[in-house]
Amino acid sequence: MNDKLILIVEDEEDILELLEYTLQKEGYETIGFLSVNKSLEKVLEEEKIDLILMDRNLPGIDGTEFISKIKQKGYNYPVIYLTAKDKDEDILEGFKSHADDYITKPFKIQELLARVNAVIKRSSKDVDVLKVKDITYKASNKKFYIESEEIELTHLEHDLLLEFIKNRDILMTREHLLETVWEDSYDKKLKTVNVAIKRLKAKIDPDNSKEYIKSVRGEGYLFC
């Protein structure tokens, strides 16, 4: 069992059900949609997606158009197009439109699984852009942005926020944060964590309206 989440957009219900069943049997979590809609966009904002399986022949839109739009917004999830568009020019267009792989219908389920596994394994090694809600992290310049505005952070605050984003919705104790963020620092005191998080919250959520970081009394902190 793994914790990888695959978003599937496929307008043929029987194929969508087959994909979800097969991938869940392999231990993946899945979220499926028959079309592009507001609920799908909300999932992109709220969930950490590890892979998008995208049909191209969708109601009212080509899947490549949707992927291009979300890439422009900063979402950098790996993409596999799963489509009946099998001409050479279609495949070339798919790879020009951010495809990490391109599978044509009809497909062999074992081949699909092998390609899914390969893309997830490859992409998990080096993620250049992380996006959670309206916070974006770009590994290329090691900077954070909120709605395209750069957040000025100290080195410690940078490492602390990155640790939170990488572990979204996971309760982290102060001891864990001291070990992973402070590492070899001499200033390893539990109250140091409290002060650093207070400073970080003041920079990313000065009016406390977004509540990115929640304190769990006696336990630690959650980034959600």
Residue entry with tokens 């070990």 = 179
185, two tokens: 């620092």
* Beta strand segments in the chain, E: 5-9, 29-33, 51-54, 57-58, 61-62, 79-83, 101-104, 129-132, 135-138, 143-146, 149-151, 213-216, 220-223
pLDDT of residue 61: 92
pLDDT at 73: 80
pTM above 0.75, yes or no: no
Which domains can be identified in the chain, with CATH numbers? Answer: 5-123 (3.40.50.2300), 129-223 (1.10.10.10)
Mean pLDDT, consecutive 10-residue stretches, the chain (224 aa), reads 86 96 95 92 86 94 93 85 93 91 93 91 70 84 88 90 87 87 66 88 90 90 89
Determine the pLDDT at residue 126: 54
